[in-house]
Amino acid sequence: MHEDNAFTAAVSLILSGDAVLGEIVRLSLAVSLTALLVSAIIGLPLGAALALARFPGRSFLVVAFNALMGLPPVVAGLMVYLMLSRSGPLGWIGILFTPSAMIVAQSLLITPIIVSLTRQVVEDLWGEYEEQLRSLGSTRLQAIPTLLWDGRFSLITTILAGFGRASAEVGAILIIGGNIAGYTRTMTTAIALETSKGDLALALGLGIILLTITLLLNAAAYATGRIAQKVAG
Amino acid sequence: MNVMRYILVAGALALCSLPRLASAEAFITVASTTSTEQSGLFGHILPIFKDRTGIEVRVIAQGTGQALDTGRRGDADVVFVHAKAAEEEFVKEGSGIGRREVMYNDFVIVGPGDDPAGIKGGKDAVAALKKISASNAAFASRGDDSGTHKAELALWKQAGINPSGDWYRELGAGMGPTLNTSAQMPAYTLTDRATWLSFDNKGPLEVVVEGDAKLFNQYGVILVNPGKHSHVKAEQGRAFIDWLISKDGQNAIAEYKINGQQLFFPNAAETQ
């Protein structure tokens, strides 16, 4: 593949129905979406609990999660690497250089984003509905499911922010996955590889494909949100 | 606490949902260098090996220093690198066993075509480095403890120069990124021939010095010591090493070419 133009490279890659490209796209989506699911399952309830619960050290946790939104991927990657390495404490699991390990690393990166943004959404909703919920006899913690459900449309953006971080990230999965051809090579690590090989057109072509996929996913999420909002009245 | 329990259950569920992607197929993990991976050599020889043995080889392409460290930690079964002294140290300290030499290629000095240091066409790598230093022409160093970086430092040592100053730029990057940067500066740099031939963004760079015996670049393969890391797949790792130095493996290496140029020269027979 030696196209001079990135768009030509992107288009001819897609048109050729390249099996390798298909596998790379599939793995990228599988890793990022699974990490997103894990993070949402942990982050949504945790964020809501952090918004409503009152306990010593709460402010510290809020600041900590906010700060972790800026956790450099390469640092997260290194931390997971040292944990999962055969010489590390979790080495016995033997999942370094596998997609599972990449999911762990990306979950570590996205969970703080979901926790922090969810906390903000739920805090605002609690401010709005506190009296109403209290008059119904609800305590702060009992209000969590209600408020999460009520804030579901705002929380879609939270989820999308998490997905954006996961799908755009290269630093962590490069260390954790090892960029193994046909096994742990994703869109972003393939782009990094083609850049090092000096095939800039192909690298940018892959970038265009990645952006297009991200755009389509976001459009789908937006449309789903709009339709659901209409149905909900 | 209701909420805590919910969170714990959710966390447990999340951990269980991690896909179990362990394949039923036999595979080994090989820590190797960017030159073998990015030149396309592995893309050529690994399918042949898999065809013969059914063993899949998963390659992590790193600098030689990092690849040896990956082996040292037990995160690979085999290391396939190019820095003889560091490899022998790796064996001596007990991290690896049974080092075998597989093939060689050579390093070349590349630089801008207008040749500010006036070294084009030379054969003596050490003399060329002396001239680069004397003329303060920009030189880009890998600076990443890779095999190429070690080779470069050895050449400076032979030149009796401790490179420093504005002209000497340590990039801390792989071979490809270093070539990308050198093409833009532009700067002289030391590269293995395989990466150079398969590199697509050469810009003003061209080969200026080649053919010095000092630029010889030997690749060796080592099994990570299963006595130290019991999970190492010794049998399959050994099968890979044995195949690389067999007639079949050596032929596969020799027949890999880019634009008609052979990239790696098998020499397992001569060196054992």
Nearest Cα neighbor of B33 from B72, B74, B78 is B78
Residue of B nearest to A82 (CA): B73
A198 contacts on B by Cβ (under 8 Å): 176, 179-180, 199-202
Q: What architecture does CATH give domain B106-215? A: 3-Layer(aba) Sandwich (3.40)
Q: What architecture does CATH give domain B25-105+218-271? A: 3-Layer(aba) Sandwich (3.40)
- Which site among B18, B33, B56, B263 would you substitute to test the A interface, given the most A Cβ atoms closer than 10 Å to its Cβ? B18
Is A3 within a domain? Answer: no
pLDDT computed for residue B2 by the predictor: 54
Domains B25-105+218-271 and B106-215 share a fold: yes
A197 contacts on B by Cβ (under 8 Å): 38, 176, 198-200
A47 contacts on B by Cβ (under 8 Å): none
Distance from CA of B47 to the nearest CA of A (A): 12
User: Is ipTM beyond 0.95?
Assistant: no
- Long-range Cβ contacts of B15-24 (<8 Å, 24+ apart): B17/A34, B17/A37, B17/A38, B18/A34, B18/A38, B18/A100, B18/A103, B18/A104, B19/A30, B19/A34, B19/A99, B19/A100, B19/A103, B20/A100, B21/A98, B21/A99, B21/A100, B22/A98, B23/B56
Is A184 within a domain? Answer: yes
- Which site among B75, B77, B258, B263 would you substitute to test the A interface, given the most A Cβ atoms closer than 10 Å to its Cβ? B75
Is A5 within a domain? Answer: no
Residue B18 has pLDDT above 80, yes or no: no
- Considering chain B, what percentage of its residues have pLDDT values greater than 90? 82
B201 contacts on A by Cβ (under 8 Å): 198-200
Q: Do A183 and B58 touch (CB under 8 A)?
A: yes
- Average pLDDT (B65-87) is 95
A180 contacts on B by Cβ (under 8 Å): 58-60
Q: Which of A46, A99, A197 sits opposite B19 (nearest CB)?
A: A99
Q: Which of A38, A41, A180 sits opposite B60 (nearest CB)?
A: A180
Q: Do A38 and B174 touch (CB under 8 A)?
A: no
pTM of the predicted model as reported, rounded to 2 decimal places: 0.86
Q: Which residues of B touch A (CB under 8 A)?
A: 2-3, 6-7, 10-11, 13-14, 17-22, 29, 34, 37-38, 42-43, 58-61, 73-75, 174-177, 179-180, 198-202, 229, 231
Is A76 within a domain? Answer: yes
Q: What is the mean pLDDT of chain B?
A: 90
In whole angstroms, how far apart are CA A49 and each of A32, A110, A118, A132, B141?
25, 18, 10, 19, 52
Q: What does the domain layout of chain B look like in residue ranges?
A: 25-105+218-271, 106-215
Residue of B nearest to A88 (CA): B73
Q: Phi, psi (5° rounding) for residue B261?
A: -95, 130
Residue B14 has pLDDT above 60, yes or no: no
Q: Which of A86, A180, A198 sits opposite B58 (nearest CB)?
A: A180
Distance from CA of A20 to the nearest CA of B (A): 13
Instruction: Find where tokens 């090493």 sit.
Output: B241
pLDDT computed for residue A159 by the predictor: 95
Is A167 within a domain? Answer: yes
Distance from CA of B213 to the nearest CA of A (A): 27
Residue B9 has pLDDT above 70, yes or no: no
Which of A144-158, A216-230, B18-32, B199-213 is least confident? B18-32
Give how many domains chain A has, as a whole number.
1
- Mind spelling out the 3-state secondary structure of chain B? CHHHHHHHHHHHHHHHCCCCCCCCCCEEEEEEEHHHHHCCHHHHHHHHHHHHHCCEEEEEEECHHHHHHHHHCCCCCEEEECCHHHHHHHHHCCCEEEEEEEEEEEEEEEEECCCCCCCCCECCHHHHHHHHHHCCCCEEECCCCCHHHHHHHHHHHHHCCCCCCCCEEECCCCHHHHHHHHHHCCCEEEEEHHHHHHCCCCCCEEEEECCCHHHEEEEEEEEECCCCCCCCCHHHHHHHHHHHHCHHHHHHHHCCEECCEECCEECHHHHC
CATH code, domain with A122? 1.10.3720.10
- Per residue in B106-118, pLDDT (tens digit) is 999 999 999 999 9
Q: Any bridge partners for residue B31, and if so which?
A: B60, B79
Q: Do A98 and B21 touch (CB under 8 A)?
A: yes
pLDDT tens for each residue of chain A, 233 residues long: 455 677 888 888 888 878 888 899 999 999 999 999 999 999 999 999 999 999 999 999 999 999 999 999 999 999 999 999 999 999 999 999 999 999 999 999 999 999 999 999 999 999 999 999 999 888 888 899 999 999 998 999 999 999 999 999 999 999 999 999 999 999 999 999 999 888 888 899 899 999 999 999 999 999 988 898 888 76
- Per residue in B136-168, pLDDT (tens digit) is 999 999 999 899 999 999 999 999 999 999 999
For residue A112, the enclosing domain spans 22-197
